[in-house]
Amino acid sequence: MIRSLNSQKAYSKTWVQGYLTVFITLTLTVVLALCLTLIEGVRRNTIRLEAECAVDAGMNSVLAEFHRELFAQYDLLFVDTSYGTSTPSYERTASRLEKFVKRNLGEDEILLSAISGDLLEMHLEETKVLGVSVASDQCGASLRRQIAEYMYEKTGVVYFEKLLEWVNIIEKNSLRESSWLSRSEEAEKQLNIWVEEAQKKYPDKKISVDGWFQKVLWALRGGILNLTVDMEELSHQSITAENYLSHRKLLTGTTGLREAISGQASWEQFLVQEYILEKTGRYGQEKEGSLLKYQTEYILAGLESDIDNLKAVADALFVVREGANVLHIMGCDDKMSVIQEISDGLAAAIMMPEASPVIQILVIAAWAGIESVYDVKMLLAGEEVPLIKTQEQWIFGWDAAVANKTDRQAHQIGLCYADYLRIFMMLQDVETMTDRMMDIIEMDIRQTPGNEWFRLDGCIDCLKVQFEITGKNGYTYEITRKYGY
């Protein structure tokens, strides 16, 4: 009986031990599978993480190769895809990017991998450029975006509002659209016809109108610039326009890669023109080392020589000043009474009273012309001239105008030459202004060593790339990145 009980206890103990062994075996199998799965997951995620880090570092490395001279002169960040050669190539940038990524993946460390082994064995199989943003795309949209960001903190809204006020005055009064100098030519033709008719009607008398205003108008028609500056002291530098961006066929990038600038278009244009005035040279403030000396004037006129560009701007200044001065004269009763008296007297002299209104046009144009030439001369000399003058700010009285001598010194409170350039640029098409600005940038950069082939349509500020990377045991990853300044 006792032996039977002992035997039963031994059997029961053995059964319990066997049960525990099976339980532990099953548990270890599950735990081991879980551990192996976790380890494999860690390795896969490690491969992906290293791949992403290698790609991100490679993209940053490419963007770190921005054009140094472009940044030094213009504070712009662009990668020159020519890399000092004569031909820009986006594939060359992709090749450099591929080199950086491979180096980050350790593909160049063959000897070290052979000695210590490589648990990941990662390889870059393919690099595909999906898109690039070029400086000249969409008439320089990327360039304007960088300029706007650069100038935003440096430019005040108050000055912008003041500029809009000046522009509104010019547009409201059509100061750029009609030239009294041109109107005077038509008036003079009509006056000559009447003089001939009067001479035929009264052949015994010598009928002519030989007024001082005619001599003034003839001088003005000969050109404004030679009346306001010493022509021998001007720059005679010139360019061949076909060599620069606005006159050649351009390389293009991918539309829509960068977001458009949000905000008011006139505000963006204001920031761009303030940037132009900061970075380019102009008459009286020429930029050292530049090809064209009157760069801002080139942006406004787009002609091939400094002389022609300055002439165009001087003529534009004269037209605005002439229009503003005509407004002053016609709004001044004292001046108009003098003009009426002179015109009536000359009309009576040729025995044609109906000629008085035509003679008035000639006298007004001549008087305003003398004042306007003086205004342009003062502006080019660095002085200020108000947009619309008061009686106290008027320089030439009637006797002074006839004698061509000033009654007083120029008033010092008003708009300077740069302010008038601001007005002209605000009235200009922003795309044309940007294209010519890019011409100037190319001219300046090509003046520096090693950059004789520089071109902005070979410069990028954003790229989108797809990478295919393989790891150990056949893992393949596709990573897409878009990086830019």
The pLDDT of residue 215 is above 90: no
Co-location of 126 and 191 in the same domain: no
- For residue 270, is it within any domain? no
Domain assignment present for 447: no
216, part of any domain:
yes
**What would you report as the CA-atom Rg of the chain, rounded to the nearest whole angstrom?**
39
Residue 467, domain member (yes or no): yes
| pTM: predicted TM-score of the whole model, two decimal places | 0.85
Treating both helix axes as pointing N-terminal to C-terminal, what angle do 356-380 and 306-330 enclose, rounded to 10 degrees?
130
DSSP character at residue 285: B
How buried is residue 96: exposed, middle or buried, by Cβ count under 10 Å (0-12/13-18/19+)?
middle
Q: Which of 385, 413, 428 is the last residue of a domain?
A: 428
Mean pLDDT of 390-398: 88
Residue 7 has pLDDT above 70, yes or no: no
Q: Are residues 96 and 236 in the same domain?
A: no
18-27, 124-133, 279-288, 326-335, range with the lowest pLDDT: 18-27
Per-residue pLDDT, averaged over 35-62, amounts to: 86
Domain that holds residue 100: 2-137+463-484
Does residue 70 sit in the same domain as residue 112? Answer: yes
- 211 with 319, same domain? yes
CA dist., res. 407 & res. 226, Å (int): 23
CA distance 434 to 302: 11
In a domain, 284, yes or no: no
Q: Looking at residues 137-162, what average pLDDT do you find?
A: 88
- My answer on whether 7 and 83 are in the same domain is yes
- pLDDT class for 145, splitting at 50, 70, 90? very high
Q: Hey, what amino acid is at 269?
A: Q
Mean model confidence pLDDT for the chain? 86
Within a domain: residue 289? no
92 & 22 share domain = yes
pLDDT tens digits along 166-204: 999 998 888 887 677 778 888 888 887 877 877 777 777
Contact between 414 and 404 under an 8 Å Cβ cutoff? The reply is: no
Encoded tokens for 197? 């008719």
Euclidean distance between CA atoms 319 and 338, whole angstroms: 24
Query: Can you give the pLDDT at residue 42?
Result: 77
Do 125 and 81 share a structural domain? yes
- Tell whether 297 is covered by a domain: no
- CB 377, CB 398: distance < 8 Å: no
Directed axis angle between helix 265-279 and helix 137-151, to 10°?
80
Does 402 lie in the same domain as 469?
A: no
Is residue 266 in some structural domain? no
User: End of a domain among 383, 402, 428?
Assistant: 428
Give pLDDT, residue 118. 59
**222 and 128 in a common domain:** no
Tell me, yes or no, whether 20 and 165 share the same domain.
no
The pLDDT of residue 473 is 72
Percent of the chain having pLDDT more than 90?
55
Q: Residue 241 belongs to what H/E stretch?
A: none
Residues listed for the chain? 485
Residue 257 has pLDDT above 80, yes or no: no
Element spanning 460, H or E: strand 459-470
* pLDDT, position 5: 46
Same domain assignment for residues 107 and 165: no
Alpha-carbon dihedral sign for residues 315, 306, 67, 469:
positive
468 DSSP assignment: E
Tally of domains in the chain? 2
**What is the DSSP code (8-state) at residue 227?**
H
Contact 137, 256 (CB under 8 A): no
User: What integer pLDDT is reported at residue 34 of this predicted model?
Assistant: 83
Burial class (CB in 10 A: 0-12, 13-18, 19+), 281: buried
Instruction: Clarify whether residues 316 and 380 are in a common domain.
Output: yes
Residue type for position 133? S
| Gap between the Cα atoms of 6 and 457, Å rounded | 98
